[in-house]
Chains A and B, each alone.
Chain A
Amino acid sequence: MSEFHDIAVKINGRSYERRVAVRMNLADFLRHELGLTGTHVGCEHGACGACTVLVDGRSARSCLMLAAQADGCELETVEGLAGETDLNPLQQAFWDRHGLQCGFCTPGILMTLTELLRDTPNADEAAIRAALSGHLCRCTGYQNIVAAALAVAGKT
């Protein structure tokens, strides 16, 4: 009801309680309040997908959610994907197949593909490209991103 709102969120398994400005979007909250700067901001109008995170397991543009709306939610961000020493299989496939160049759009894309491959472990190229259509990448032409996802889906 005021300028601030108290929230409790779980991010990558860790609990946070914070008082947030109500106009702060979720991406800015993750980045600037919690220092989770792996989630990137590319357009702030919900078109580029760089800020994609998982909210209760579902991919969402974090620039299109208020931080206040995440209260009580479980979030997953790129920082939660890898183990202590090893990349996870999707990250490893991106590395092996040169699925990234400047790396700015990569965290959001990894989160979308994480959701897709959980739902559809054997996703085909059409499904992968459809899921990726919610992301803009200027470097890769998408080809090696698709190849990396197909590798994880056991299609190559």
Chain B
Amino acid sequence: MKAAPFEYHVPRELHRALDLMAQLEDARVLAGGQSLMPMLNLRLASPRHLVDLNRIAELSGIREEGDAVVFGAMTRQRAIEFSEVVARKLPLFAEAVRSVGHRQTRNRGTIGGSLCHLDPAAELPAACMAMDAILRVQSTRASREIAMRDFPAGFMTPSLQPGEILTGIVLPPWTGRVGTAFLEYARRHGDFAVVSVAVLLELDARAQISRASVTLGGVAAGPVRMAEAERALIGKRLDEAAIAAAARLCGQIEAMGDPFVPAWYRQQLARTLSERALRIALERAVA
């Protein structure tokens, strides 16, 4: 199928894009296009205006700001995949991005596009949730920051106001004796995950868990931090019993069901994958 007609705008500066988003009725931002373009081609989306961000140089790139790593929203997934900074400071991200789509889609797809599309099973939102990312958002009126925790506003709906554009993603790395793991189950290599799990563990000098982050993707409208499981891990030496207990808590999540995947299966995957991911993260932390 061919896209319905629309008007196309290709600003070169962010302020021009913000002006357009403020002025135009029924406008959508075009980022990497790996989700929006299929929807346009299938006529599942037919906005009157497309504002293409691909020419705005200031929106892409990976920078270090103090301890934090900052991604421009238009940074391609490929750039993240092959970034030395990401490999060094955000190993969880480096692992997660390799499961995003295929080589051909990562070459075009952007981190900001993935976050704003907010597919429940998408990998990068789960990784951002796991790392307590801060999202930088701008409109012609103001700039603000949104905690990733507050970003999902509903099924495939980010908490962006009309006229707002996601411009950057700030990721505070975990340092010290840290192990991370990103695992997912997808039917085929490169498919959206049925369920994914992102785990970060920090060990103290006595090899007890001093900090833990456990996030499930694919189970609910947005990625979910498993606070109970995290609490259960703190202060523990991570042995098989502790892993099993935390995984059991993950398996108890109130998961969504659909005609393809019933809720109980997502719960089972949550349990299986979190158990495996915790084990891998621990191995990496002690390595």
Query: In the complex, which residues of chain A have a beta carbon less than 8 angstroms from the beta carbon of B34?
Result: 46, 61, 64
Q: B104 and A134: CB pair below 8 A?
A: yes
Q: B52 and A69: CB pair below 8 A?
A: yes
A34 at the interface (CB under 8 A from B): no
CA distance in complex: A69, B53 (Å): 10
**Chain B CB within 10 Å, residue with most, of A25, A61, A116, A131:** A61
Question: What size tier do the contact residues of chain B reach?
Answer: 20 to 34
A102-132 contact mask (Cβ, 8 Å, vs B): 1 or 0: 0000000000100110000000000001110
Q: A23 and B6: CB pair below 8 A?
A: yes
Q: A3 and B37: CB pair below 8 A?
A: no
Q: A134 and B102: CB pair below 8 A?
A: yes
Q: A69 and B9: CB pair below 8 A?
A: no
B8 at the interface (CB under 8 A from A): yes
Query: Which of A46, A66, A69, A134 makes the CB contact (< 8 A) with B103?
Result: A134
- B interface: dominant SS: loop
CA distance in complex: A108, B103 (Å): 13
A77 at the interface (CB under 8 A from B): no
Q: A25 and B3: CB pair below 8 A?
A: yes
**A134 with B105, Cβ < 8 A, contacts A1-B9, A22-B8, A58-B78 known:** yes
Q: B8 and A130: CB pair below 8 A?
A: no
Tell me the nearest residue of chain B to A66, going by C-beta. B8
A145 at the interface (CB under 8 A from B): no
**B146 CB to nearest A CB, Å:** 28
Q: A3 and B38: CB pair below 8 A?
A: no
Q: B107 and A63: CB pair below 8 A?
A: no
B10 at the interface (CB under 8 A from A): yes
Query: Which of B103, B189, B190 makes the CB contact (< 8 A) with A112?
Result: B103
CA distance in complex: A153, B190 (Å): 23
B188 at the interface (CB under 8 A from A): yes
Q: A49 and B104: CB pair below 8 A?
A: yes
Query: In the complex, which residues of chain A have a beta carbon less than 8 angstroms from the beta carbon of B105?
Result: 46, 61, 64, 134
**A116 with B5, Cβ < 8 A, contacts A60-B108, A133-B190 known:** no
Tell me the nearest residue of chain B to A111, going by C-beta. B104
- A interface: dominant SS: mixed
Q: A130 and B189: CB pair below 8 A?
A: yes
Q: A45 and B3: CB pair below 8 A?
A: no
Q: Report the count of interface residues on A (CB-CB < 8 A).
A: 33
A44 at the interface (CB under 8 A from B): yes
Q: A60 and B107: CB pair below 8 A?
A: yes
**Chain A CB within 10 Å, residue with most, of B1, B7, B34, B105:** B105
A68 at the interface (CB under 8 A from B): yes
Query: Which of A3, A23, A133 makes the CB contact (< 8 A) with B3?
Result: A23
**A5 with B8, Cβ < 8 A, contacts A64-B38, A69-B52 known:** yes
Q: B189 and A133: CB pair below 8 A?
A: yes
Q: A45 and B2: CB pair below 8 A?
A: no
Query: In the complex, which residues of chain B have a beta carbon less than 8 angstroms from the beta carbon of A66?
Result: 8, 33, 37, 52
Query: In the complex, which residues of chain B have a beta carbon less than 8 angstroms from the beta carbon of A115?
Result: 103
Query: In the complex, which residues of chain A have a beta carbon less than 8 angstroms from the beta carbon of B190?
Result: 133-134
A59 at the interface (CB under 8 A from B): yes
**A64 with B7, Cβ < 8 A, contacts A25-B41, A134-B102 known:** no
**A64 with B42, Cβ < 8 A, contacts A1-B7, A3-B7, A25-B3 known:** no
Query: In the complex, which residues of chain A have a beta carbon less than 8 angstroms from the beta carbon of B139?
Result: none
Query: In the complex, which residues of chain A have a beta carbon less than 8 angstroms from the beta carbon of B286?
Result: none
Query: In the complex, which residues of chain B have a beta carbon less than 8 angstroms from the beta carbon of A15?
Result: none
**A100 CB to nearest B CB, Å:** 19
A-B contact pairs, 28 of them (CB 8 A): A1-B7, A3-B5, A5-B8, A22-B7, A23-B2, A23-B3, A23-B40, A25-B2, A44-B1, A44-B38, A44-B41, A45-B41, A49-B102, A58-B108, A59-B103, A59-B107, A60-B107, A61-B34, A63-B41, A64-B41, A68-B52, A69-B10, A112-B104, A115-B103, A116-B103, A131-B103, A133-B102, A134-B190
List the 9 closest pairs (A to B, CB-CB), nearest first.
A134-B102, A22-B8, A45-B38, A64-B37, A58-B107, A134-B104, A133-B189, A59-B104, A23-B3
Since A3-B7, A133-B102 are in contact, a sample of 6 more A-B pairs with Cβ atoms closer than 8 Å, ordered by chain A residue number, is A23-B4, A61-B34, A68-B10, A112-B103, A116-B103, A129-B189
